[in-house]
Amino acid sequence: MTKTGGDPTRDAAFALLSAVLDRRAPLDAALAGLADIAPRDRAAAHRIAAAVLRRLGSLDAILEPHLRRAPPAPVRHILRIGAAQLALLGAPAHAAVSTAVGLAHARGLGKFAGLVNAVLRKVSADGAAALEALDSPRLDTPAWLWASWGAAARAIATTHQGEAPLDLTLKDGAAVPEGGERLPTGSVRLPAGTDVTQLYGYAAGTLWVQDAAAALPARLLGDVAGRRVLDLCAAPGGKTAQLAAAGAAVTALDRDARRLARLRENLDRLGLAAETVAADALDWRPAQRFDAILLDAPCSATGTIRRHPEILHLRRPRDIETCAALQDRLLDAAAAMLAPGGTLVYAVCSLQPEEGARRIEAACGRLGLRRAPLGAAELPGLAEAVTPAGDLATHPGMWAERGGMDGFFAARLQG
């Protein structure tokens, strides 16, 4: 990150927005470049940048009436940061405006300082009311995504407006951390912003971070105790941990050796064991086929927008086609590694139908697999997530009163 001598939090937020919106970098990758600033400033910068990315359409809409002409992209980023602080994050008006003006000077944009000051003062006066009058869910969602989500689009987009809570998976018998809510499916939920490393049980290795929806696909394999289970595309390892904790003999495969190293670190903290293989699932073949396989396939990740709001701005329709082609190849590879009569669970953290049921229909026709439909009793308190075909399909608008959940599709297949 380029140091400018300005306010470190706002300067870092500017760097994050520039990385995502100008250079199309993932937010996590951009955040990794902020290691040279204090953790508190880093966390605050991430919160500001995420708020801007989550509500970009609405923020631009409340800025637009106060702009005679379109400002340069860096100036627009500064205005968005200021507007987000004023209209969304509850910052005092004088602080939000003065730090934005300071950021303009620090970034060599001093000739626009007067514009930044004038526009944000107007936003401080009427921005909250202007925001309230907008159809924000629609404005903050690209049209192609909104159309693809069908009747659930508004519920999904409304949930995207807020930060995601912290969900945990606990080992059997582990105590629920103070302030945690046990969800019907077994996950434990704490408020957004909770620092997992400070929770009772983290250092002792009795819990790990995993969204309530992400914890469901591994459970679709049923009782895995004593069975040989392959976790394909396994990193960062939440599902591997679930399977190992349930008594499976797990082989965790991932093509990214660095991510696989983090998986091993997580398993070490949890006191769990699994064989790890750094290889491409499209090429690797085992000496012996597996009783059960979990394929959490690479995808568009549109189901995780609450946690990764940059996806709204980085994904394009053509990306879905690319993902679907890879998913077909991975399903072919997984089927070749499955023992006769074995169980294969295919999962994606995507809301796109092209990556979900359509892939399963194609795979069944191509590979001779058959669906093993889910029953509503397998998903306590979440029967609405069972599709007519017997697949799992969650979206952020489900459990809205509890804070929502990630979007996941999963199908259980028999060899």
The predicted-structure confidence for 61-75, as pLDDT tens digits, reads as follows 999 999 999 999 999
Report if residue 183 sits inside a domain.
Answer: no
Provide the pLDDT for residue 236. 93
Q: How far apart are CA 219 and CA 72, in angstroms?
A: 50
Same domain, 232 and 90: no
Q: What is the pTM of this model?
A: 0.94
Question: Nearest to residue 385, comparing CAs of 229, 184, 154, 190?
Answer: 184
Same domain, 251 and 393: yes
Same domain, 130 and 218: no
Report if residue 111 sits inside a domain.
Answer: yes
Question: Nearest to residue 81, comparing CAs of 21, 38, 31, 155?
Answer: 21
Q: Which residue has the higher pLDDT, 245 or 6?
A: 245
Cβ contacts of 126 within 8 Å, gap of 6 or more: none
Give yes or no for residue 3 having a pLDDT over 50.
no
Q: List pLDDT tens digits, range 84-109.
A: 999 999 999 999 999 999 999 999 99
Amino acid at 366: R
Give yes or no for residue 225 having a pLDDT over 80.
yes
| CATH code, domain carrying 312 | 3.40.50.150
The CA dihedral of 13, 18, 23, 26, to the nearest 10 degrees, is 20
Q: Is the peptide bond before 236 cis (omega within 30 degrees of 0)?
A: yes
Q: List pLDDT tens digits, range 158-179.
A: 999 999 999 999 999 999 999 9
Give yes or no for residue 5 having a pLDDT over 60.
no
Catalytic residue among 299, 323, 349, 364: 349
**Cβ–Cβ < 8 Å for 243, 314:** no
Task: Please tell me what DSSP assigns to residue 165.
Answer: P
Provide the pLDDT for residue 2. 41
Q: What is the mean pLDDT of the chain?
A: 96
High-pLDDT (> 90) share of the chain, %: 96
Write out the binding residues.
Answer: 233-239, 254, 280, 296
Question: Nearest to residue 309, comparing CAs of 162, 182, 173, 155?
Answer: 162
Question: Nearest to residue 51, comparing CAs of 11, 84, 86, 6?
Answer: 84
Report if residue 355 sits inside a domain.
Answer: yes
Same domain, 219 and 126: no
Q: Based on the structure, what is the number of domains in the chain?
A: 2
**Residue 6's pLDDT band (cuts 50, 70, 90):** low
**Residue 230's pLDDT band (cuts 50, 70, 90):** very high
Write out the binding residues for S-adenosyl-L-methionine.
Answer: 233-239, 254, 280, 296
**Residue 415's pLDDT band (cuts 50, 70, 90):** confident
**Cβ–Cβ < 8 Å for 244, 274:** yes
| CATH code, domain carrying 66 | 1.10.940.10
Which helix (H) or strand (E) covers residue 231, if one does?
A: strand 228-232
- Point out the domain boundary residue: 134, 151, 172: 134
Provide the pLDDT for residue 108. 96
Give yes or no for residue 227 having a pLDDT over 60.
yes
CA Rg, the chain, in Å?
23
- Point out the domain boundary residue: 106, 134, 162: 134
Give yes or no for residue 293 having a pLDDT over 50.
yes
Residue ranges making up the domain that contains 68 = 8-134
Tokens 């500064």, residue? Answer: 78
Annotated active-site residue 349? The verdict is yes
**Residue 35's pLDDT band (cuts 50, 70, 90):** confident
Q: How far apart are CA 282 and CA 279, in angstroms?
A: 9
Give yes or no for residue 276 having a pLDDT over 90.
yes
